[in-house]
């Protein structure tokens, strides 16, 4: 009979009013009657009801004072309160509503009317809670969907990167190492507040993920060139120099079939610009100085260092010290001078990374 799991507190210093309230609502709700505001506040420390019927005119602590206490505590601030009062002036009603009451019922009240108004208010509160629950569930769904998208991005990136390394098997581990070098440089740039405004605009995690695709254009290079064990001829090297352009086109093709493109935007910049040189002698576009995207300038440092310390069929691996010397010689020619100064301060970390992956 009724909705007995819903609890209502009735607070009034008049025993007759408490009895009438219990008789009116007792068949429909779990009712607790209290004869003072002080007793209500003590009970609220242990039990939170679904609704409070609160008399305004009570000795020691009136309903308005009780209401202020209720609204001041996070655990009770959202409990709906209906004021019961013999006052019939608009100012009193406005004061009660201003304190946060959801309704104002005059005494003596009509039992059927009281029951109906409580029923309506509890329905509204239930709908409000359903909306809160829906929003919370929606947030969880968004977070789950975001996680799925990120996992999909990682799968695309790692699969493409794996394809590149499987074809270019003489550079095994290159992608992982350059990704780690880039992470170290980005952290150092942030600590030193170098190129701060631009780097702050990046999603660094996506940048690092996208770095896996910097050599994706090698997929379009013939095996006979990509896996050649001798030094490349001038004509073959010209074909190798096309891989940044091929990389950009491959990434553009992937972008056509996805709406989640931010990680691919980073990948495209990295793929197309990591072989440009500070003095304009690089490829494929011959960009110069800061016309080269910062991502490309960063990737150039990581890419060249790794090439220098790696063994090839046509060359021996250089020591870390030798590689650092060549990098320093390329300051202002191959590399952004600011980034080389940064590199010199953290080159030991590059050596540790190379050793770890080796």
Q: What is the pLDDT of residues 167-221, one digit of tens each?
A: 665 555 888 899 999 999 999 999 999 999 999 999 998 899 889 889 888 888 8
pLDDT at 172 (0 to 100): 57
Q: What is the tens place of the pLDDT at every residue in 254-272?
A: 787 666 667 789 999 999 9
pLDDT at 89 (0 to 100): 66
pLDDT at 1 (0 to 100): 46
pLDDT at 163 (0 to 100): 67
Minimal CA–CA distance to 334: which of 270, 291, 289? Answer: 289
More confident residue, 316 or 138: 316
Residues above pLDDT 70, as percent of the chain: 88
pLDDT at 167 (0 to 100): 60
Tell me which of 68-72, 116-120, 148-152 is least confident: 148-152
Give the tokens for residue 42: 């003590």
What's the whole-number mean pLDDT along residues 274-294?
Answer: 96
Q: Mean pLDDT in the chain?
A: 86
Minimal CA–CA distance to 273: which of 247, 252, 251? Answer: 247
Tell me which of 59-63, 205-209, 229-233, 343-347 is least confident: 229-233
Minimal CA–CA distance to 20: which of 59, 67, 53? Answer: 53
Tokens 């001798």 belong to residue: 230
pLDDT over threshold 80, residue 337 = yes
Query: What sign for the dihedral angle of Cα 84, 87, 90, 96?
Result: negative
The band of 327, judged by pLDDT with boundaries at 50, 70 and 90, is very high
Neighbours of 126 (CB within 10 A): 13
- Which strands sit side by side in the sheet containing 81-85, from one edge to the other? 30-34, 7-11, 51-55, 81-85, 103-106
Q: How many helices (DSSP H) and strands (DSSP E) are in the chain?
A: 15, 5
What's the whole-number mean pLDDT along residues 86-105?
Answer: 78
Tell me which of 29-33, 162-166, 296-300, 328-332 is least confident: 162-166
pLDDT at 253 (0 to 100): 85
pLDDT at 259 (0 to 100): 65
Contact (Cβ atoms closer than 8 angstroms) between residue 175 and residue 164: yes
- Phi, psi of 271, deg, nearest 5: -65, -40
Tokens 């992470």 belong to residue: 183
Most distant CA atoms of the chain, gap in Å: 105
Query: What sign for the dihedral angle of Cα 58, 59, 64, 68?
Result: negative
More confident residue, 98 or 274: 274
- Phi, psi of 345, deg, nearest 5: -80, -15
- The one-character DSSP state at 220 is G
What distance in Å separates the CA atoms of residue 153 and residue 182, rounded to the nearest whole number? 19
Give the tokens for residue 156: 């695309």
Which residues on neighbouring strands pair with residue 10, listed in sequence order?
Answer: 33, 53
pTM value > 0.85: no
More confident residue, 318 or 167: 318
More confident residue, 160 or 264: 264
pLDDT at 4 (0 to 100): 59
What's the whole-number mean pLDDT along residues 321-329?
Answer: 96
């Amino acid at each position: 009979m009724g909705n007995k799991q819903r609890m209502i507190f009735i607070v009034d210093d008049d025993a007759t009013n408490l009895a009438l309230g219990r008789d009116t609502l007792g068949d429909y709700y779990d009712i607790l009657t209290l004869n003072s505001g002080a007793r209500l506040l003590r009970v609220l420390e242990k039990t939170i009801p679904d609704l409070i019927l609160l008399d305004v005119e009570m000795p020691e602590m009136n309903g308005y004072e009780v209401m202020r206490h209720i609204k001041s505590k996070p655990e009770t601030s959202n409990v709906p309160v209906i004021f019961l009062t013999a006052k019939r002036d608009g100012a009193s009603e406005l004061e009660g509503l201003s304190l946060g009451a959801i309704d104002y019922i005059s005494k003596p009240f009509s039992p059927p009317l009281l029951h109906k108004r409580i029923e309506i208010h509890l329905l509204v509160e239930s709908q409000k809670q359903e909306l809160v629950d829906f929003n919370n569930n929606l947030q969880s769904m968004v977070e789950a969907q975001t996680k799925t998208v990120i996992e999909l991005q990682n799968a695309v990136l790692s699969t493409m990167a794996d394809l590149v390394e499987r074809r270019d098997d003489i550079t095994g581990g290159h992608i992982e190492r350059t990704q780690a070098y880039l992470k170290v440089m980005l952290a150092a740039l942030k600590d030193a507040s170098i190129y701060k405004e631009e780097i702050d605009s990046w999603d660094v995690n996506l940048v690092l993920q996208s770095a896996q695709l910097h050599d994706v254009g090698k997929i379009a290079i013939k095996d006979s060139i990509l896996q050649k064990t001798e030094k490349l001829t001038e004509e073959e090297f010209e074909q190798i120099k096309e891989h940044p352009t091929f990389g950009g086109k491959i990434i553009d093709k992937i972008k056509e079939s996805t709406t989640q493109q931010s990680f691919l935007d980073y990948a495209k910049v990295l793929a197309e610009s990591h072989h440009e040189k500070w003095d304009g002698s690089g490829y494929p576009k011959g960009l110069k100085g800061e016309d080269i995207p910062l991502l490309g300038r960063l990737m150039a440092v990581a890419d060249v260092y790794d090439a220098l310390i790696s063994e090839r069929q046509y060359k021996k691996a250089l020591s870390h010290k030798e590689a650092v010397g060549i990098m320093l010689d390329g300051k202002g020619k191959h590399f952004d001078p600011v980034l080389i100064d940064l590199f010199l301060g953290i080159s030991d970390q590059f050596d540790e990374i190379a050793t770890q992956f080796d």
